[in-house]
Amino acid sequence: MENVYLTIVLAPLIGAILAGLFPRQLGRSGAHWVAILGVGTSFVLSLVVFKHIVIDGAPAFNGPVYTWMVSEGVNMQIGFLVDKLTTLMIMVVSFVSLMVHIYTIGYMADDEENWPKTSLAGRHSYQRFFAYIALFTFSMLMLVMSNNFLQLFFGWEAVGLVSYLLIGFWSTRPTAIFANLKAFLVNRVGDFGFLLGIAAILMVFGTLDYAEVFALAPSKASETIEIFDGTPWWAMSVICILLFIGAMGKSAQVPLHVWLPDSMEGPTPISALIHAATMVTAGIFMVARMSPLFELSETALSFVMVIGAITALFMGFLGLVQNDIKRVVAYSTLSQLGYMTVALGASAYAAGIFHLMTHAFFKALLFLAAGSVIIAMHHDQDMRNMGGLRKYMPITWITALIGSLALIGTPFFSGFYSKDTIIEAVRHSHLAGSGFAYVAVLLGVFVTALYSFRMYFMVFHGKPRMDEHTRSHLRESPWVVTVPLILLAIPSVFSGYLIDPVVFGNYFEGVIPVLPRHDVLAEIAAHYHGPVSFVVHALAGPAVYLAAAGVAVAWYVYMVNPGIADQAAKRFAPVYKLLTNKYYADDFNQKVFAGGARGTGWTLWKLGDVLLIDGLLVNGSARLVGWVSSVVRRIQTGYLYTYAFGMIIGLLLLLSWFLWLSPAG
Amino acid sequence: MTEMPILSFVIWLPIVGGLLVLADSQRENSNPRPLALAFAMVTFLVSLLLYSGFDTTTAEMQFQEKGSWISAFNVYYHLGVDGISVPLIILTTFTTVLVVLAGWEVIKNKPAQYLAAFLIMEGLMNGVFAALDAVLFYVFWEGMLIPMFLIIGIWGGPQRVYATIKFFLYTFLGSVFMLVALIYMYTQSGSFAILDFHVLKLGLTEQILIFLAFLLAFAVKVPMWPVHTWLPDAHVEAPTGGSVVLAAIMLKIGGYGFLRFSLPITPDASSHLDWLIILMSLVAVVYIGFVALVQQDMKKLIAYSSIAHMGFVTLGFFLVFTLMENNGSTAGAQMGIEGGMVQMVSHGFISAALFLCVGVLYDRMHSRQIADYGGVVNTMPVFGGLMVFFAMANSGLPGTSGFVGEFLVVLASFKANVWFAFLAATTLILGAAYSLWLVKRVVFGDIGNHNVAKLQDINNRELVILGSLAFVVLLFGIWPAPLVEVMQASIENLVAHVAISKL
């Protein structure tokens, strides 16, 4: 099986290299074929792995590929750990990625038009795009298949690199190259914590290998690190919080969320890839993978839960006031990532991963549907110019409806099962902050339904608001676009039924260890009697009604009485302003961090380097030498009597020293 | 094979080559370039024998050559290399090939003298890394300044006189104290052999004075904050090849000095004053990182980024004492020094590549100002891709060699003190900020002005230069083991030596 694992990661890499280095020789179709073949191979082989590991019940694989280097006995390797968690991740990643690849053929078909005529970078941009998304898939696969922290960090940063390239893909647009720099730097802030976390792990455990670290973890539970003199901190809390800071960057948790909405500057297929299958799920995956460590620190778990809850609720609010169709979906991603994070914090790792999976399907679907709408609208993304599109694009309409229903947690759709499990898990959690988190995730349900159906009604229902020219050209997208939509709609509905094995079954047994006192899923499982009864049980709780209320409000405000939204915006102007300005997080970062860093740099340069070191010390000492020599020069008069006088004075001084001052005398 | 004096070859072959190039230029219609390239290539190939024939299991000096030179003072022509010097010699010979290629069409003014200067400098620098006799070392050390002085002074920019004088005085000031220290140790030991100095018993006061003398010499070379201000000026005025050699190799000689002289000769003084080095290193990483951010001249920006990256080198080298103090063992020290060494080699590649990138642009536009560029990728897509790659390597992206050293040093410094690691790791953010902001303003965006619109993409010669650098950056990022294995035994030995007090 080693060769299968190796092929899974290498196939997309080879596709990427070929498409990237030989765009001219391969041509457009050659490039998309090598990329799709690569990712397709990964997907097919991931099914083989699924059969091998899950159905045939083979033991997890854990082995090295090659030794990166050895330093002081620390073996730093590239290697794979393939267990059930990895299997699930590679299936989701390669499937969604494959759909995105196929979809890209349609979406990027006319990419030349997005570049200025004079730009040579626009030449072969189609091929380059395929190279990037295949590379993206490779990076993500390396990340989830890693068996050690080194390779995890490799994948972690590689994902950041490719997202940088993709967000800034249209590099002639100022907004795109602003957004990609921002995304990379914000992610680097997370990576800063992550790297320190890895360093802490090496210090405490002396190894970077997962299996060894996990095996040692219980024995290190009471170890401490002294960060400030005299106050020992639990090593495990320090490690987990540092690692989680990394996850906050990648999975866009408050306050490191700011890069994600801007990442919409990239072409839509990569939005789907970043938001659904790769990158943002990296943080969630990582925490689930590290459950043996996080379980040992309730401080870290509480921290994770509170951050997740804040993200889930407050990012949802922002979705309410966006008019750009992609940004609405982006904020919904932020909010849903918050849900996953809350689940991790509540020790319901399986629920978090389960939501990651269902979300991957319906979020990719929603993004690609939004892209389909954008194609039809000639790259106008403003929902105020849309409306009534269901008549023109039936497949996009139906699939988008399915995606939205799944997102808001409609019973029997996939999102219902995953999200309701999370809400239940938080209700059962006893950790500090779980009360707040419970309120936040419940309110979040209402908000999610409201913004989702606000978007749905604004885009597909009501009167068409676009101009006549656009309207006359409206038509359904080509099959390369609609087929992925349909293929994604299917799991968006049905993947929820996997709740049986994945969350309440023994799928993650021994893969994601949970301490018995944290095991909220086990508590819920006691009352669980199959997917249908789960729905019945949920009807006794508030979540379903909150979702229905959200839809109802959206319907009333945007279909029945459209003026009410504007009135509300006027009535609650300060709140509205706060939301449209995204809580001023961007302005704050721009002023304090970006401006502050430039100011600091400028001050240190001009004051430290130019004035103090160069001006005072270097050139100052040069001037001093010049001054001294100019003084000394006056003595060198060239007249004999001056020198004779000097000699006599010197002789007198020496003599007097000998006579009176020398110790001998 | 072992009988062949490889080290003498890598020192004298380029020097002879340089003289031949000079002599040949007297002929009419002579073209010095192929000859210079041939000598650089052969030297590079010969230096590879040092790698292939190197015994990685021992810390002993290898490929030794010893002949009497000035017998009255016990001065020997004594050469030899260990795992610390071999990578640096190969880095030197490799870089020189690229520098010769880089000046191919660009240098029109006295090309023979230009190429000869680089070849002679190559030999002298190899001599610095291979010398095991202090006098021989000092001769090479000072001698190497002369060609560099000429390169900046003759082929440099408008402010070249100020820059050369500053460069020369700074480095000269540092090295005279080193000479005094070397002579003092000769009076104590009766020998000029560096390895004898390693085992020479010295009192604490003596050690501290010697340490400070060395510090002055090496800190200026590295350069460490606050004696770094000559570097941006020298880089800005130097021609591309000069900047490349300066950044890729000359700075490494300072780092090499710490490993070959300061640590083993004065371990107790190092232990007493390690806080000073660590402080200067961390200031370099953070302070200089911020300063690099606001530079408007591309070369200055890369020069400052060099200083910040070299901060990792000195930080990694001097972690050993904090580790011993806090954990009671040297565990982690080897990783720190290995990290510093890898960082030196990697920075050699990456800074060379970045200076060559600036050179490519400068040759076309005759400007180094960031503001004069914008959207270069639209007219130079291949170049743009390479520059983004090197900028990423400069910000320590895993998979590039730039990551390896920083990673090891951060891991080791966390063990020594969490705050060291915390401050050092800020480079993850700062390094990315200044590297990628540079890329954003120069490479990306729409075509900035009509000069950019007229740019031609890199030619095959430039592609070979940058491509081979990209190859090694990637190679050692994906598989640093071959690089680290060479130095391991020597560094292990060094750590063991340093851990034992001389008092």
Q: Which residues of B touch A225 (CB under 8 A)?
A: 418
Residues contacting residue A664 through CB under 8 Å, at least 6 positions apart: none
Per-residue pLDDT reduced to its tens digit, B130-158: 999 999 999 999 898 889 888 888 888 88
Contact B384 A121 (CB under 8 A): yes
Select from A439, A449, A451 the least CA-distant residue to A310.
A439
Per-residue pLDDT reduced to its tens digit, A570-627: 888 888 888 888 888 888 888 888 888 888 888 888 888 888 887 777 777 778 877 8
Residue of A nearest to B377 (CA): A121
From B212's Cα to the closest Cα of chain A, the distance in A is 19
CB B357 within 8 A of CB B301: no
Q: Which residues of B touch A119 (CB under 8 A)?
A: 375, 378, 446-447
Type of residue at B107:
I
Strand, coil or helix: B447:
coil
Q: Please give the helix or strand (H or E) that residue A401 lies within, else none.
A: helix A394-408
Q: Please give the helix or strand (H or E) that residue B209 lies within, else none.
A: helix B204-221
Q: Of the given ranges (A637-646, A648-657, B13-22, B311-320), which has the lowest mean pLDDT?
A: A637-646
Provide the mean pLDDT of chain B.
Answer: 90
Q: Find the CB nearest A161 among B378, B384, B392.
A: B392
Euclidean distance between the first and the last CA atom of chain A, given in angstroms as a whole number: 96
Type of residue at A54:
V
Q: Which residues of B touch A282 (CB under 8 A)?
A: none
Q: Which residues of A touch B290 (CB under 8 A)?
A: 597, 600-601, 604-605
Neighbour-count burial of A284, counting CB atoms closer than 10 A to its CB (0-12 exposed, 13-18 middle, 19+ buried): buried
Q: Which residues of A touch B445 (CB under 8 A)?
A: 171-172, 174, 177
Q: Find the CB nearest B432 among A173, A188, A617.
A: A188
**Angle between the B298-317 and B418-425 helix axes, to the nearest 10 degrees?**
160
Say how many residues make up chain B: 503
Per-residue pLDDT reduced to its tens digit, A315-357: 999 988 888 998 899 899 999 999 999 999 999 999 999 999 9
From A200's Cα to the closest Cα of chain B, the distance in A is 7
Q: Find the CB nearest A121 among B378, B404, B429.
A: B378
Contact A119 B378 (CB under 8 A): yes
Specify the pLDDT at position A662.
62
Contact B446 A172 (CB under 8 A): yes
pLDDT above 90: percentage of residues in chain A: 47
A9, A67, A69, A226: best to mutate for the B interface, most B CBs within 10 A? A69
pLDDT mean over A625-637: 78
Strand, coil or helix: A615:
helix
Residue with tokens 């405000």: A557
Q: How confident is the model at residue A663 (pLDDT cuts 50, 70, 90)?
A: low
Reported in sequence order, the residue ranges of A332-399 that DSSP labels E, i.e. its strands, are: none
From A76's Cα to the closest Cα of chain B, the distance in A is 10
Residue of B nearest to A179 (CA): B440
Specify the pLDDT at position A579.
85
Residue of A nearest to B415 (CA): A203
Q: Which tokens in the block code for residue A324?
A: 């750009």
Strand, coil or helix: A158:
helix
Alpha-carbon A301 to chain mean position:
19
Q: How far apart are CA A591 and CA A582, in angstroms?
A: 15
Per-residue pLDDT reduced to its tens digit, A3-55: 999 999 999 999 999 999 998 898 899 999 999 999 999 999 999 999 999 88
Select from A189, A444, A456 the least CA-distant residue to A318.
A444
Query: What does DSSP assign to residue A81?
Result: E
Max distance between CA atoms of chain A, in angstroms, equals 118
Contact B331 A171 (CB under 8 A): no
Can the peptide bond before residue A542 be classed as cis, meaning omega within 30 degrees of 0?
A: no
pLDDT mean over B70-77: 87
Q: How far apart are CA A167 and CA A187, in angstroms?
A: 13
Strands A231-234 and A224-228 turn out to be antiparallel
Tell me the CA distances in angstroms from B191 to A544, B64, B124, one per residue in order.
Answer: 88, 17, 23
Q: How far apart are CA A575 and CA A580, in angstroms?
A: 9
Strand, coil or helix: B27:
coil
A21, A70, A72: best to mutate for the B interface, most B CBs within 10 A? A72
Does the structure show a pLDDT above 70 at A87?
yes
Contact A601 B294 (CB under 8 A): yes
Residues contacting residue B49 through CB under 8 Å, at least 6 positions apart: B1, B4, B6
Does the structure show a pLDDT above 80 at A145?
yes
From A151's Cα to the closest Cα of chain B, the distance in A is 9
Say whether the ipTM exceeds 0.85.
Answer: yes
Q: How far apart are CA B220 and CA B215, in angstroms?
A: 8
* Cα radius of gyration rounded to whole Å, chain A: 31
From A650's Cα to the closest Cα of chain B, the distance in A is 30
Q: How far apart are CA B403 and CA B386, in angstroms?
A: 17
Specify the pLDDT at position A191.
93
Per-residue pLDDT reduced to its tens digit, A373-391: 998 888 888 998 888 888 8
pTM value is 0.92
A-B CB pairs within 8 A amount to 162
Select from A159, A189, A363 the least CA-distant residue to B398.
A159
Tell me the CA distances in angstroms from A133 to A100, A113, A262, B439, one per residue in order.
Answer: 9, 20, 18, 22
Type of residue at A525:
A
Contact A154 B334 (CB under 8 A): no
Specify the pLDDT at position B106.
83
Query: What does DSSP assign to residue A52?
Result: I
Contact B481 A605 (CB under 8 A): no
Residues contacting residue A465 through CB under 8 Å, at least 6 positions apart: A384, A385, A386, A387
Contact B433 A609 (CB under 8 A): no
Does the structure show a pLDDT above 90 at A232?
no
Select from A42, A38, A3, A44 the least CA-distant residue to A18.
A38
Tell me the CA distances in angstroms from A378 to A383, A389, A461, one per residue in order.
Answer: 13, 13, 19
Provide the mean pLDDT of chain A.
Answer: 89
Percentages helix, strand, coil for chain A (3-state, rounded to 5) are: 75, 5, 20
Q: How far apart are CA B303 and CA B296, in angstroms?
A: 12
pLDDT mean over A119-132: 89
Q: How confident is the model at residue B3 (pLDDT cuts 50, 70, 90)?
A: low
Specify the pLDDT at position A665.
44
Q: Which tokens in the block code for residue B455?
A: 């740019």
Q: How far apart are CA B310 and CA B301, in angstroms?
A: 14
**Neighbour tally for B53: CB within 10 Å:** 14
Contact B291 A604 (CB under 8 A): yes
CB A342 within 8 A of CB A431: no
pLDDT mean over B108-118: 88
Contact A184 B436 (CB under 8 A): yes
CB A200 within 8 A of CB A238: yes
Q: Which tokens in the block code for residue A36?
A: 């799709």
CB A396 within 8 A of CB A372: yes
Residue of A nearest to B304 (CA): A605
Contact A597 B484 (CB under 8 A): no
Contact A121 B426 (CB under 8 A): no
Q: How far apart are CA B498 and CA B270, in angstroms?
A: 9
Contact A598 B293 (CB under 8 A): yes
Does the structure show a pLDDT above 50 at B103?
yes
Contact B422 A184 (CB under 8 A): no
Instruction: Return phi, psi of residue B133, to 5°.
Output: -110, 130
